[in-house]
Amino acid sequence: MLDPKLIRETPDLVRAAIAKKHLKVDLDSVLGADAAWRAHLQEVEHLRSVQKAANAAMATLPKGSPEFVAKLSEMKAVSSQIKEKDAGLKAAEEACREAMLTLPNLPHASVPEGATPEQNVVYSTHGDLVSVSPHAVAHWDIPGFARLYDFERGSKVTGAGFPFFIGDGARLVRSLINFFLDEDAKAGYREVSPPIFINAASATATGQLPDKEGQMYETTPDRLFAVPTAEVPLTNFFRDEILDEASLPVLRCAYTPCFRREAGSYGKDVRGLNRLHQFDKVELLKWVHPSRSYEELDALRNDVEGLLRKLEIPYRVLLMCGGDLGFAQSKKYDLEVWAGGQKRWLEVSSCSNFEAFQARRAQIRFRSKESGKTELVHTLNGSGLAVPRVLAAILENNLESDGRVRIPEALVPYFGKPHLSFAG
């Protein structure tokens, strides 16, 4: 959520932010809702001042005197008006908050212009694409793939996008998760095992609501949402709390299965492991001092890049343009791995800075040592990493002539052997 003062005083800045993100938002309606709420508030505050003055005057008058009775009648009438106006004030306040929630975060000045993913900027590229296995094929075409990753039975049991991982296929997934968590711990992130269902307040705090309702799985009648990412429960860990400034930055990591409906996805993007409705991911999250916000974003991105380097996967970093930035982010880098069989880049992580946008919604603050006042923290998160596409790249890039897959050296202690075989 944006600072209401900023919206009122610099509406053109907000209009420019909306335009840079290529979003359709009726800012005039938001400003109208804000003005209506403030008018209601001013009216109620005036009536309360009248009530207070009448109450003070009564204290100086003899009880039962004509003047006292007149003031008492006046105060009762004002009290009745306040009660009546309070209901309207609450409705106007709620309408204003709902309108404010439709406004996207402001993009950082370094975010490039652009409307489509094709206009994202290649920030850096790492690894040698030539070193990818000459035997690479799309992972779903590897002989025996369905023995370890059974999409057909998963579709029978649940639906498309919910595969079974079997035997060494499941073991490799678990190995990746443990590898990610151990490396994140070395980098200073404290592990958390969060709930995998969140309420509407939590989804609103992080910006999933109102924005991504169509992408989340929702339960009834209690209206809980299966986590689309561990970002949501992790960020809300400190909701409505005041942190010690000396504790910043606070670093956390968490593994969860993630659930996304991925409505509208089709074609080559959804084949095999490329896009699942249920997938495993380790998330990294930071609560930081605003003065170090963008230094911490660079450090977060470097932590994620380190995982890919240890897995020996060629990758590139994209700086997202305004139109592909996202509703809640101020700045975002996407990390994509090279899948040699498909001969294409696959996104495996987004590293984002939300500045105070989520913290204002969630009321996550710290108390400044210098001023003694509370200030909003900045929140950052990144995937460290999403498993399925990393797995796809490993399977394709390391496929050998005998049909086995070479396991990256850093992963061997977790997997227990240097090769994955699809035979048997």
pLDDT of residue 42: 94
pLDDT of residue 242: 98
Say which range, 58-67, 104-113, 238-247, 357-366, has the weakest mean pLDDT: 58-67
390-421 pLDDT, tens per residue? 999 999 999 999 999 999 999 999 999 999 99
Tokens of 94: 């709620």
Residue 47: partners with Cβ closer than 8 Å, 6 or more residues away:
78, 81, 82, 85
pLDDT of residue 424: 59
pLDDT of residue 97: 95
Number of neighbouring beta carbons within 10 Å of residue 102: 17
pLDDT of residue 64: 83
- φ/ψ of 321, rounded to 5, equals -80, 170
Residue 266 has pLDDT above 60, yes or no: no
Same domain, 51 and 175: no
pLDDT of residue 51: 85
Calculate ∠ Cα 153-165-390, nearest 5°: 125
In a domain? residue 105: no
In a domain? residue 264: yes
Q: What is the mean pLDDT of the chain?
A: 95
**Best CA proximity match to 227, nearest among 256, 253, 251:** 256
- Write down which residue in 37, 67, 100 finishes a domain: 100
Residues 399, 393: Cα–Cα separation, whole Å: 10
The domain spanning residue 355 has which CATH number? 3.30.930.10
DSSP state string for 156-222? HHT-TT--EE-THHHHHHHHHHHHHHHHHHHTTPEEE---SEE-HHHHHHHT-TTT-GGGS-B-TTT
Residue 264 has pLDDT above 60, yes or no: no
Q: Which domain holds residue 50?
A: 4-100
Give the total number of structural domains in the chain.
2
128-172 pLDDT, tens per residue? 998 899 999 999 999 999 999 999 999 999 999 999 999 999 999
Residue 220 has pLDDT above 90, yes or no: no
With beta carbons less than 8 A apart as the criterion, state whether 245 and 369 touch.
yes
Residue 267 has pLDDT above 90, yes or no: no
The domain spanning residue 86 has which CATH number? 1.10.287.40
Rounded mean pLDDT, 194-207:
96
Assess whether the previous peptide bond of 61 is cis (omega < 30° from 0): no
Same domain, 255 and 166: yes
Residue 251: partners with Cβ closer than 8 Å, 6 or more residues away:
187, 188, 189, 190, 284, 285, 286
Residues 204, 101: Cα–Cα separation, whole Å: 8
Tokens of 32: 């109208």
pLDDT of residue 19: 97
**Best CA proximity match to 409, nearest among 319, 323, 312:** 312
Give the C-alpha distances (Å, rounded to integers) separating 214 from 44, 225, 233, 271. 39, 11, 19, 21
In a domain? residue 112: no
25-40 pLDDT, tens per residue? 999 999 999 999 999 9
